[in-house]
A = this chain, B = another copy of it.
Amino acid sequence: MSFKTIEMNDQVTLIPNNSLITNTPEEGRQLAVKMARLIIKITQPDPEVREQLRPKYAHDASNLIAIGQTVAIEFATIAKANNYWK
C-alpha cells in the first residue's frame, strides 16, 4: 500500500457525489463498482501500472471472481443506505 497516497488528500475523491444515495438499484450497483475501482486507483495511482495490470484482472478467473466479491460487499452497504430502493 502506498502510504504517502493514503494520507488525507483533498484531491482524491473516493465517493463520487459524496453520497451513497442513488435513484435506482442500477445506479447503486454502478456506484459500488466505482467505489471499488477508486480504492485500486488510490493504492496504485500510476495509470501506466494500472494499464499493465489490467490483463491480470480481466484475464484471470480468480481475480474476476474476487472483484465480484468486492463489488458485492460495497453494494451491500449501498443497498442498505438506500433501504433497498423500496
Question: A1 to B57, Cβ gap below 8 A?
Answer: yes
Interface residues in chain A, defined as those with a beta carbon under 8 Å from any beta carbon in chain B: 1-3, 6, 8, 13-15, 18-21, 24-26, 29-30, 33-37, 39-40, 42-44, 49-50, 53-54, 56-77, 79-81, 84-86
Q: A68 near B40 (CB under 8 angstroms)?
A: yes
Copies of this chain present = 6
Chain A contact residues, majority secondary structure: helix
| A62: chain B residues within 8 A (beta carbon) | 56, 62-63, 66
Beyond A26-B15, A69-B66, whether A1 also contacts B54 by CB under 8 A is yes
Contact at A20–B81, with CB atoms within 8 Å? no
Asked if A1 and B73 sit within 8 Å, CB to CB, the answer is: no
